[in-house]
Amino acid sequence: MSINRGAQVDLAGAVWRKAGTGAGKDSVEVALLEDGHVALRDGKNPDGDVLIFTPGEWAAFTAGVHDGEFDRP
């Protein structure tokens, strides 16, 4: 993942949503940013680190999820 070539990404206006069907505090949260980037954070630690994906990286990541690339054996 890149972080906009090391630049700070402004998350002040980010609208966070729970990813998937889990409604609990332990879920992952996703925000679609104005510049096309996608932010991902831990729902139980919203003030912690945030992963930032470029549009291409997000497409590759979600394709991998759909293909089962990250499923446990």
| Count of domains forming the chain | 1
DSSP state at residue 43: T
Q: Which amino acid is at 39?
A: A
Q: Name the strand (E) or helix (H) holding 62.
A: helix 55-66
pLDDT tens digit at each of 73 positions of the chain: 445 455 577 888 899 998 766 555 568 999 999 888 999 999 888 888 899 999 999 999 999 999 999 998 8
Does residue 12 belong to any structural domain of this protein?
yes
Residue 4 is predicted with a pLDDT of: 47
Separation of alpha carbons 30 and 23, rounded Å? 13
Supply the range of the domain harboring residue 11: 4-66
Residue 23 is predicted with a pLDDT of: 57
Does residue 71 belong to any structural domain of this protein?
no
Does residue 48 belong to any structural domain of this protein?
yes
Residue 19 is predicted with a pLDDT of: 76
Does residue 25 belong to any structural domain of this protein?
yes
